[in-house]
Structure 1
């Protein structure tokens, strides 16, 4: 629980800081908050996202894959390798989806390197930054580091769905943001999140005296 809350707190506060700055600069305009709808969205989104996205993806990628690569390639190699696997996963999923659709006789979106409807340039960049941020959370100090990446993953999904897809998802609170500003804000708060985790790691690094002991 401590690790999960650490991931939520660091990612949520970083998003609040960056979106707050964007709002002050006039880049973001928020709708009025409908508290009941917003609360219901956060609850249902958390349940679905944890079961289908945050937990399985973190267990397989920042859990098993990262640990296996770290034994062979070290920390940097494991971080890059895990992020590379994360980058190709969406494209591979479109192939699997098309194959299953063909077996079942169901029409599916076209296969591609990125999911249908996503920007072919920005989406890979976002995945790289997001993947490295999740590795930073995974390697952060304190108990439950894998749960820190799960908390970061869930918070990222929640923030983006409210800020960028609020109207379509009926979140009870949404924002109007120009596409170029949306990209900067999204990458910006991920960068701040990663920086905070890295600073925590440096701050908690044992001294030479502690190593000697």
Structure 2
């Protein structure tokens, strides 16, 4: 719905290429966050803390940032050292502007709504009714189907309101379906591993990792279609793009190790 409404607004308001993505982000958060809070507190009559939300969120968020950025450096710095990639130039001003805009849009459009809905409400609700394994499988499947569901409902709303639509598709246009679904599956599992870190406000570990991991990717890959990152990287070895998956998988392992260490300390 946020995509459709933002595209309609774009017909009447021309504020540059970043206007529609920023408006989409604001609309998405405005729709999803109140809806999930209402479902949890009014319909289920459960506390938000049960799904990993707490005012003491900083330690969990710090874990997400450290693993997201730290593992990114662990993966991409050696790639540059081995000559698999070559950083041709960095435009500092463009990079700083990108980080500000990207952080705003990524938090409101993806990280907060998706984590609150899937790893927060969805995973917690299924886990409480069944077991963590069933919750993980259920949410992972939903996450893999998210692009298809978005395109389905966006197409329906666009037909109602007369907005532009890209049509119904399993994955975003121009992307290899196998590679995309594999990346989404691994990413979703890593996010669940972050959500399971035994800290107050654990959902913020997933939100922070979601933000940092995608930010690292976008910086390395030059940004998005509507905003450049200011970092120009040449993939001397084209297969080095697979390091995106290594970054995600290795991060998931670090989250599991972190959970085990914290659980052991708690028992002790």
Pair 1:141–1:31, CA change in 2 (3 A): farther
Task: Give the Cα–Cα distance (whole angstroms) in 2 for the partners of residues 107 and 209 of structure 1.
Answer: 55
Range with bigger deviation, 126-135 or 77-86: 77-86
Aligned equivalent of 1:91: 148
5+ residue gaps, structure 1: none
Return the TM-score normalized by structure 1.
0.91
Secondary structure at the aligned position of 2:177 is classed as: coil
1:139 Cα offset (Å)? 0.6
Range with bigger deviation, 40-49 or 201-210: 201-210
Range with bigger deviation, 30-39 or 115-124: 30-39
Task: Give the Cα–Cα distance (whole angstroms) in 2 for the partners of residues 165 and 94 of structure 1.
Answer: 25
Please tell me whether residue 162 in structure 1 is matched to residue 227 in structure 2. Answer: no
Pair 1:30–1:65, CA change in 2 (3 A): same
CA RMSD of aligned residues (A): 1.8
Aligned equivalent of 1:181: 240
Aligned equivalent of 2:116: 59
Please tell me whether residue 68 in structure 1 is matched to residue 125 in structure 2. Answer: yes
Task: Give the Cα–Cα distance (whole angstroms) in 1 for the partners of residues 224 and 100 of structure 2.
Answer: 17
Superimposed CA distance per residue, residues 59-92 of structure 1 (whole angstroms, 9 cap, x where no aligned partner): 0001000101111221122112111111111111
Is the contact made by 2:222 and 2:231 (CA closer than 8 Å) also made in structure 1?
no
Task: Give the Cα–Cα distance (whole angstroms) in 2 for the partners of residues 3 and 41 of structure 1.
Answer: 25
Aligned equivalent of 2:29: none
Return the TM-score normalized by structure 2.
0.73
Is the contact made by 2:61 and 2:204 (CA closer than 8 Å) also made in structure 1?
yes
5+ residue gaps, structure 2: 1-57
1:209 Cα offset (Å)? 6.4
Is the contact made by 1:132 and 1:194 (CA closer than 8 Å) also made in structure 2?
yes
Task: Give the Cα–Cα distance (whole angstroms) in 1 for the partners of residues 164 and 143 of structure 2.
Answer: 26
Superimposed CA distance per residue, residues 154-198 of structure 1 (whole angstroms, 9 cap, x where no aligned partner): 11221111112338532111322255321x210001111111111
Is the contact made by 1:167 and 1:174 (CA closer than 8 Å) also made in structure 2?
no
Task: Give the Cα–Cα distance (whole angstroms) in 2 for the partners of residues 107 and 57 of structure 1.
Answer: 24
Please tell me whether residue 204 in structure 1 is matched to residue 262 in structure 2. Answer: yes
Give aligned pairs, total. Answer: 209
